[in-house]
Amino acid sequence: MPEIDPTEHEISDLGPKVNQVEDADELREMLELEESGEDRTPVKTLIESRIETLEAEDEEPEDAGAVDLSEKTAADVGNLIRDIDEVEELEALLEQEESGENRDSVKRLVQQRIDSVQGSDDDGEEEEILPPEEAHPELDHPTADKKHVRALEDGEYRDMWVYCETQHGELLDVSKEMLGKARELMDGYNEDYDEEEKVVAVVIGDEAESIAEETVAYGADLAVFYEDERLGRFRHKPYAEVYCDMARGAGHPYGREDRPEADWHDYDEPRYAIFPATHNGRDLSALVQAELDSGLASDCSDLYIENEVISNPVKTGAKDKVEFERVLHMPRPDFSGFEYSTILCLDSPRREFHPQGASVIPGKFELPDPDPEREGEVVEHSFDLDESWLDVEVTDHDRLEGGVDLTDHEVVVCVGRGIDRDPTEGIELGVELSETFDDGAFGLTRGVITSSFQFDGHVEQYTGEDRQIGESGQEVEPTLYIAAGVSGAIQHKVGCEESDTIVAINTDEHADIRDWSDYYIHGDLFDVLPAFTEAVESGSVDAALQNFGAVPAGGGDDD
Amino acid sequence: MTEDANDSAAVRTDGGESTMSEHEHYEAIVVGCGPGGAAAAAALAENDVETLVLERGVDAGSKNVSGGLIYAEEAAPYTIDDLFPDFREEATERPAEEYKMHNVSGNKVASFDLEEIHHGGTEWCDAVLRREMDSWLADRVHERTRETGGGLLTDVRVNGLLREGGEIVGVTCDELDPITADVIVAADGVNSELARDAGLMNWDEPEDWFQGVKAVVDMDRETIEERFDLDGPDDGAAHLFSGDLFEGVRGGGFLYTNEDSLSIGTVFHLDSIAEERAEPQDLLDALLTHPLLDQWFQGEYEELEYSAKLVPDSKKVANPSPHSGRLLLVGDAAGQMQAQGPIIKGMNHAVSAGGLAAEAFQDAKTRGDPTLAGDLYEQKLEGEGVMDQLRPTRYEATSWLSESSIATSIGSAVMNSPIGRFGVKTFDGLLEKSFNSPFVLGMIPDTKISYVTVPTVIGDVLGEPVSADNEIEPPDLADRIGDLTYDVGDPHIEVLDNSYEASGTAVTACPVSAEDFGGGCYRSETVESNGSKERVVSLDTQPCVECGTCAVVADTHWEHPAGGKGVEFKQG
Ligand SMILES: Cc1cc2nc3c(=O)[nH]c(=O)nc-3n(C[C@H](O)[C@H](O)[C@H](O)COP(=O)(O)OP(=O)(O)OC[C@H]3O[C@@H](n4cnc5c(N)ncnc54)[C@H](O)[C@@H]3O)c2cc1C
Ligand SMILES: Cc1cc2nc3c(=O)[nH]c(=O)nc-3n(C[C@H](O)[C@H](O)[C@H](O)COP(=O)(O)OP(=O)(O)OC[C@H]3O[C@@H](n4cnc5c(N)ncnc54)[C@H](O)[C@@H]3O)c2cc1C
Ligand code: SF4
């Protein structure tokens, strides 16, 4: 009969009791009692997990002295030494490695472990930290069986990594904005902490090299790129795999075994990692930060690095207050920008959270001017893609219409609702006139775009919203602006009043447009436009204006 | 505002996204920060209820229009200055001391004093401009609700109710993720999307609504005090207008003095505007250009803002049971807008209802069952006499008679007969008296006789001719639209049937559209399809002032624009 009969206790006070039981058999008896009695799942889980803990403790760790390190990869070593708490034992391993393979990565891992074991000895007072399931048995722990713990122990972290997204072979503006910001942050960082850490640009794609070179001009100290023609379009699996492989230094316990040492990457993982909060950037940032087992502050609107004193016990362990150094502060809008939270990604006493990761809203940071003189290193990353990562194929893609650009033309012809009698013909006449000029464009008032006019198929390409001129459309300033059947509303006027010469064609002598055009032709556009086209073809605009008895109108400011 | 990283509430130190799988939850959500919403939020906050207020405007008040007299009634359960003590000093214009009614017939005008009814039972009554008033209220509301753990968010449009298992549990928004609450106070004004969503109000009948149109006119304070004969800044005037200056459309006009501007407008029965195919801007201009107004304009007219909004007629639509589950309707959203003859009382009732809704929730909580809030609210509206003001039984008793057109034409004939007219003369003093009777005003039927014939006859028989020439020129629609501020978003109104029969009324009734005007929201057009010509309407929502008219008179799918989008009133 065990000392404690669980069925006689509330779940909430069982936790501490169960955790004091040191005998697994006694626990098994308790489990049986519970099963035949109340049979409460949380209680059973509690007892079972205590049994597991005890059994794990009992298992003898592999005798380190008997291990042959030369047979093990750095990752294996990393796993092995995690269970070793004796400094002597670790030092023996270190010696073994030095006289054997003498791999830097392995030595660093062992040394780190030594440091951490010694460190934790220093403050022997430290309270035992229970796994959350044991500490709070009254709660349910939906993530209790999470297996994917890949955080490092005493990892070494350096540099700020900037994922530079591209589109159609060009850096996105947000990539440049992040590089500029990263430059500013790391300059300050290196000064404040007397370090020499870098801004590292990451470029992945089918034409990555030339872009990697470009990133230097925007502030990168080093650009690492991975080029593969199959990665012309973003696909999250291969991109995430490549990024994580780049990010993990040689000897990383969860990294690829044959990852070579690299001078520029003499650390385990990036200290900071920033991504654009674009569709692809959000996707990638989530996968990468999850794989590296850290956190992510998404859609940030600002970034800064400061020390921070924290009193939250989850982060400080037993201590009252701890000053965390070099903390990336990541303010982000909540409630779509009505309130802000500042997210911090801090190591916990038992678990490291690095890289400190953020995705950044495009347009939040200044677009830096490139400095072609800047120097930096460009490094190619080599890594074999697994075919299965490419299972998702992009079978088709479409580039959304950029729309019609009406700015930067010599002449713009615009028609308004005056075409209502025969809208299709009205469009045709306007387009024809615009085409008689070497550099003519054709636009519309909003009135036409929002009308119920029915257009024949062949002119439909000329009737879209992308041709709207005015306050809520495009602003144009050609040498010559011809407006036919346009009343001249203020919202239209602001889109064209800077034109050198404005000619209005209207049946209404009192139309507002007369007040702000240079020439006014009183007439029906269905008559005037074709004749005007003819006159321009055979002579000049001036001649055409004279032909039609154009009269100087109100707005004669020839600027 | 950037929260300090040490403020533990705002900082998540796990480096991860909030893992909350449930919706954000507040004890109370108040939708809309007009007088109804502000009152509800203030009263909730007073009881320490965690309250989130959502307002679609860039600023509270940027969407709102009132004629502008806010009443504090002696018998009201809540007045605005009960809830916001400095209200009168900080947020109002001038008190309406003088209160006159002008009966117009041609250029003859008979003026009555309506001060007896205006001041009777009134603690005070001030003119307000809504942008200033509402944003002042909003600042207080934000301060107070913040202390409860909530706050006021502008630029957020609530677009529907969140339901779980058929029960209303929260709201959905254009800009935010769904939010749940124990109580939802919909104070979202006329054309309440929430009331519609809950099936508590519909937008079908033009008879249920008035349309208010208004111009704010610039005039410096000395000039106002001189021309209206006022004793300094704590004196003000209100003038009402009725008679034949509105082409037979049922309704009237108003003029209120502000600190350094005038609010001048019209309020008409929407069914009458629709039937007469009246152009609201022309009706307003008819008032503005009437010779009677020359004494105040003296040839100068500078319009600061043109605006419009529907006004519910509580006599017909005030919902006696304005709640459903956790949802309580307050103010215009519940149709609680009382037109007592020419006297318009909406803001004060919205305040009362907001206070009562908050009180009901508190009571329900005390009883340990927040779901009782709706029933308690209904009882309070009844018990405090608010419902009786909104839907007077005597109106219900007379309406069947006076609304029938036979009665109207008989009445009309009588009034126009020599005997009827003689009667007006003999009863001169008595007429003024009966206008001052809340009883008579409460039962004034919505007919042409009361709105047009009687005042016209009074004006004609008793009136003195006004000899002045009023030569001011109000701006045309294009200029009025041009002077408004818009942040254009996606179209928020969709015409479901664009035939002229179904939706053509909107071309005239929309206060920023007109026949033969290409720059309005609704334009009538003739299109040729398959050889036959058809008259249709087209719609561009850019100039829309969100008055709600076409939600009722045309075949549309009507919503408010997204948060912060659409028109922004600076005066209101
Ligand atoms: C916030 C906001 C933003 C806006 N943004 C824009 C914008 O970016 N761009 C824009 O264009 N508008 C914009 N508008 C709309 C603008 O106010 C006007 O409604 C629009 O420009 C009118 O278009 P229109 O001149 O084609 O039509 P109308 O105003 O209807 O004018 C038609 C003209 O054609 C003349 N006409 C008729 N028949 C003939 C004929 N046979 N021959 C010659 N003349 C004839 C008429 O006399 C009339 O002057 C905006 C409005 C708002 C409120
Ligand atoms: C021309 C005219 C003259 C008037 N004269 C007077 C008068 O002299 N005296 C008087 O007392 N009353 C008058 N009224 C009536 C008065 O304006 C209303 O009764 C009063 O404003 C109602 O208050 P409320 O709080 O219910 O709604 P509102 O004041 O309309 O406030 C509703 C609020 O909710 C917001 N909102 C709406 N939908 C949403 C959404 N989906 N999501 C988020 N926010 C939303 C709006 O932006 C607004 O701020 C007049 C009205 C008009 C049009
Ligand atoms: S479009 Fe409709 S809601 Fe907008 S102003 Fe016109 S009538 Fe009012």
Domain ranges of chain A: 6-121, 157-390, 411-558
**Can you tell me which residue has the tokens 């006119």?**
B217
Residues of A in contact with B155 (CB under 8 A): 338
How many of the other CB atoms lie within 10 Å of CB of A342?
A: 22
- Tell me which residue of B174, B217, B157, B162 sits closest to B31, measured CA to CA: B157
Residue B538 to residue A296, Cβ atoms within 8 A:
no
- Structural contact between residues A203 and A175, judged by C-beta atoms closer than 8 angstroms: no
Residue B175 to residue A308, Cβ atoms within 8 A:
no
List A residues 145-174 in contact with B (Cβ-Cβ < 8 A).
none
At CA A21, angle to CA A16 and CA A22, rounded to 5?
A: 135
- Structural contact between residues B215 and B297, judged by C-beta atoms closer than 8 angstroms: no
pLDDT in tens, chain A (559 residues): 788 888 888 777 787 788 888 888 999 999 999 888 888 887 888 888 888 888 877 665 555 556 788 888 887 888 788 878 888 888 888 888 888 888 888 888 888 888 877 765 444 444 566 666 777 777 777 766 666 677 888 899 999 999 999 988 899 999 999 999 999 999 999 999 999 999 999 999 999 999 999 999 999 999 999 999 999 999 999 999 999 999 999 999 989 888 889 999 999 999 999 999 999 999 999 999 999 999 999 999 999 999 998 888 778 877 778 899 999 999 988 765 566 788 999 998 888 999 999 999 998 999 999 999 999 999 999 999 999 999 988 888 887 766 789 988 999 999 999 999 999 999 999 999 999 999 999 999 999 999 999 999 999 999 999 999 999 899 999 999 999 999 999 999 999 999 999 999 999 999 999 999 999 999 999 999 999 999 999 888 888 888 777 787 776 544 4
3-state secondary structure of B457: helix
Cα–Cα distances (Å) from B249 to A371, A392, B112, B266, in that order, read: 71, 68, 21, 11
Cα–Cα dist B310/B213, whole Å = 9
A157-390 and A411-558 have identical folds? yes
Second CATH level (architecture) for the domain B486-558: 2-Layer Sandwich (3.30)
Nearest CB neighbour to A452, from listed B6, B16, B538: B538
Residue B153 to residue A357, Cβ atoms within 8 A:
no
Cα–Cα dist A55/A103, whole Å = 34
Residues of A in contact with B562 (CB under 8 A): none
Second CATH level (architecture) for the domain B5-91+129-201+319-390: 3-Layer(bba) Sandwich (3.50)
- Structural contact between residues B222 and B260, judged by C-beta atoms closer than 8 angstroms: no
How many of the other CB atoms lie within 10 Å of CB of A539?
A: 12
Nearby residues of A177 by Cβ (< 8 Å), 6 or more positions away: A360, A362, A363, A364, A365, A366, A367, A368
At CA A492, angle to CA A466 and CA B537, rounded to 5?
A: 75
Second CATH level (architecture) for the domain B95-123+204-314+411-474: 2-Layer Sandwich (3.30)
Nearest CB neighbour to B13, from listed A310, A416, A491: A310
Q: Mapped to the 3 state alphabet, what secondary structure does A376-418 carry?
A: CEEEECCCCCCHHHHCCCCCCCCCCCCCCCCCCCCEEEEECHH
3-state secondary structure of B317: helix
B395 CA: distance to closest CA in chain A (Å): 45
Question: How is chain B split into domains, by residue range?
Answer: 5-91+129-201+319-390, 95-123+204-314+411-474, 486-558
- Structural contact between residues A530 and A432, judged by C-beta atoms closer than 8 angstroms: yes
Residues of A in contact with B29 (CB under 8 A): none
- Tell me which residue of A21, A30, A40 sits closest to A138, measured CA to CA: A40
* Tokens (6 digits) for A553: 């109108």
The verdict on B529 touching A (C-beta cutoff 8 Å) is: yes
Cα–Cα dist A264/A197, whole Å = 10
Name the residue of B480, B486, B537, B545 whose CB sits within 8 Å of the most ligand 3 atoms, as the mutation to test its pocket: B545
The verdict on B417 touching A (C-beta cutoff 8 Å) is: no
3-state secondary structure of A100: coil
The verdict on A332 touching B (C-beta cutoff 8 Å) is: no
Residue A315 to residue B536, Cβ atoms within 8 A:
no
Residues of A in contact with B11 (CB under 8 A): 341-344
Second CATH level (architecture) for the domain A157-390: 3-Layer(aba) Sandwich (3.40)
* Tokens (6 digits) for B85: 């003590």
Who lines ligand 1 at CB under 6 A?
A 416-418, 421, 445-448, 468-473, 485-487, 489, 491-492, 495, 505-508, 511, 524-526; B 481, 486, 488, 518-519, 542-543
Cα–Cα dist A339/B77, whole Å = 35
Q: What amino acid occupies position A538? A: S
- Structural contact between residues A326 and A193, judged by C-beta atoms closer than 8 angstroms: yes
Ramachandran region, residue B548 (left: φ > 0; alpha: ψ -120 to 50; beta: rest) = left
* The CATH number of the domain covering residues in A411-558: 3.40.50.1220
The verdict on A406 touching B (C-beta cutoff 8 Å) is: no
B288 CA: distance to closest CA in chain A (Å): 24
The verdict on A473 touching B (C-beta cutoff 8 Å) is: no
B155 CA: distance to closest CA in chain A (Å): 9
Beta strands A170-171 and A166-167: pairing type? antiparallel
